[in-house]
Chains A and B, each alone.
Chain A
Amino acid sequence: MLTNKKSLWLSGPYLVWIAGFIILPLLTIFYYAFTNLQGGFTFENIVGAVTDTANIKAFGLTLLLAAAATLIALILAYPLAICLAKLGLKKQKVFIFLFILPMWMNFMLQMVAINVILEDNGIINYLLSALGFEKIHIANTFGAILIGMVYDYFPFMLLPIYNTVSRIDGDLINASKDLGAGAIRTFFKITFPLSFPGVISGITMVFVPAISDFAIAEMLGGGKIMLVGNIVEMSFTKGHYYQGSGLALILMAFVVISSLVSGGDAEAEGGAILP
């Protein structure tokens, strides 16, 4: 490409973009988080974010919900990844494609669709009463948000696990069985340890969007359940930039910790959502 020095200039717009629209905006959050209304330095926004009783309650609820969504997604996705990896190679590709496809329906319309199913007058209750059962009330509850999260983030769990499971050398499994290990022992000694990086990556990719969500909670919780994301969103729509930034910074700390745990492999994450 040109001479090396000249081609470096071609990345100019990109570098300016990174500085202007990634680094400076993040610094702006830090500025607001450590500044009081008079423009002086303060820790109050951060301290306030973690000591306010409503916030503490929201943090508890959010962590519980995110952990539950991550666990359910893992329990559903892990066996599926194993089942898919045992299909023929060509079939695997088609099936993985098919399992990722529904996630591309517009996110908000997915939420609408889930509401159509869960509503008090929705499909589930229609079927239940048609079969003579009593109606259940899930719409606008914790459970509805949980279902929405598991549905929306499921592919993020499935793909990284499938990517590691499908690469396990079949000879290793056979060798383990030849040496007398049963199916269960082979799973815990060979399959699971080798798929572990995928599991960790899947957990991060579900947990991060789950702890920072506000839209699913608002769409499926009917505005009654306040997660950390909802409090952050409300602070900003009400113009409380300073407190909001303090809380957003705490949220970012959770994101950084979860990414560090998984090694922060952004390329794997970007690759994972590729169809």
Chain B
Amino acid sequence: MKRLSAFLRGVYIALIFALLYMPVALMIVLSFNGSRSSYEWGGFSFVKYEALFNNEIIMEALLTTVLLGFASAALATIIGTLACIGLLAMKKKLQKTVTTVANIPLLNADIVTGISLMLFFSAIVGRMNNVTLIASHITLILPYVVLNVFPKLSQFDKSVYEAALDLGASPIKAFFKVTLPDIFPGVLTGFLLALTISLDDFTITYFTKGQGINTLSTLIYTNRIRGILPEYYALAALTFIAVLFLILVMQIVNMRSATSGNNRAKAQKNNY
């Protein structure tokens, strides 16, 4: 009976697993399909990859997506990390109020966030442009940076920083030499998660991008009438592998900082 139920559980896990991976697996397998039809196998080939790299419009959208992601994630990481230092100095009640408002884009429907930003920007600057797009992405991803950095910073032992000051370091030097190395895993995972979310975004981008500019998501959406282009298969395979890499790095950083945190806790226990 016990073995039967363990078997049934395994079957269910495998079933959902297969369903979830079917679209991804299909895109990757078909990206090597030499035939133009989606499912009829025309032999192993790189023609779809060739088509992708020769498609200037998709390549430009890819570049825009990546630049937008890195620019907004970098700026959000700086603003967010500084914010955490200030948040820690606030009274608990104020801290809670501020983070609740900052988290509105997490809870709110993306379409409402996108429209609110578009209405606001068109009221103050008229047309959407690259600045409105980056600013909107920062708004979307800032909460994720704070959620990653804040716990690390609150665990940080303040007396180490104060010791650096006593030994004559300037506050800025002490921050870069003592605080930042300690909270770095949180800053890095915050940055990577912010980047991943920016790369994947469609709705906010759709409403706040300037005319003639496209990310991969908005390009595919705008071209939906043209159906499924052969390039998409190769694009899906490559972008999935890129994101897989980002997420694996995030996992490794997370696990490492968890073990080093445990070691430090143990060392502290031994001291007492």
Using a CB–CB distance below 8 Å, which chain A residues touch chain B? 1-2, 4-15, 17-18, 21-26, 28-29, 32, 76, 79-80, 83-84, 86, 95, 97-99, 101-102, 104-117, 119, 121-123, 126, 151, 154, 208-209, 211-215, 218-219, 229, 232-233, 236, 241, 244-245, 248, 251-252, 255, 259, 264, 266-267, 269-271, 274-275
Contacts and interface: CB of A to CB of B under 8 A. Distances in A.
A269 B86 CA distance: 23
19 contacts: A1-B88, A4-B89, A8-B90, A9-B86, A13-B79, A15-B98, A17-B139, A18-B101, A22-B105, A29-B112, A99-B20, A101-B244, A112-B228, A115-B228, A117-B26, A123-B26, A219-B224, A245-B115, A252-B109
Contact of A270 (B80, B139, B144, B235): B144
B82 A266 contact: no
A63 to B, nearest CB: 14
Contacts of B221: 108, 215, 218-219
B119 A241 contact: yes
A26 B116 contact: yes
Q: Which one of B85, B88, B143, B239 has the highest number of Cβ atoms from chain A below 10 Å of its Cβ?
A: B85
A248 B111 contact: yes
B129 interface: no
A214 B111 contact: yes
A112 B13 contact: no
Contact of B9 (A32, A86, A232, A267): A86
B76 to A, nearest CB: 9
B202 interface: yes
A105 B202 contact: no
B103 A274 contact: no
Contacts of B228: 112, 115-116, 119
A189 B137 CA distance: 45
A250 B117 CA distance: 17
Nearest to B179: A1
Given A80-B12, A112-B220, A102 B23 contact: yes
A32 B85 CA distance: 37
Query: Looking at chain B's contact residues, is the secondary structure mostly helix, strand, loop, or mixed?
Result: helix
B16 A80 contact: yes
Contacts of A213: 111
B250 interface: yes
B38 A14 contact: no
Contact of A266 (B79, B115, B143, B193): B143
B13 A104 contact: no
Contacts of B251: 97, 275
A107 B220 CA distance: 10
Interface in B106-141: 106-113, 115-120, 123, 135-136, 138-139
A123 B220 contact: no
Contact of A25 (B116, B146, B161): B116
A251 B111 contact: yes
* 6 cross-chain pairs, A with B, having the tightest CB-CB distances, nearest first: A11-B86, A212-B109, A14-B83, A113-B23, A25-B116, A266-B103
B126 to A, nearest CB: 14
Given A7-B89, A11-B82, A123 B106 contact: no
A275 B12 contact: no
A236 B236 contact: no
A108 B216 contact: yes
B23 A236 contact: no
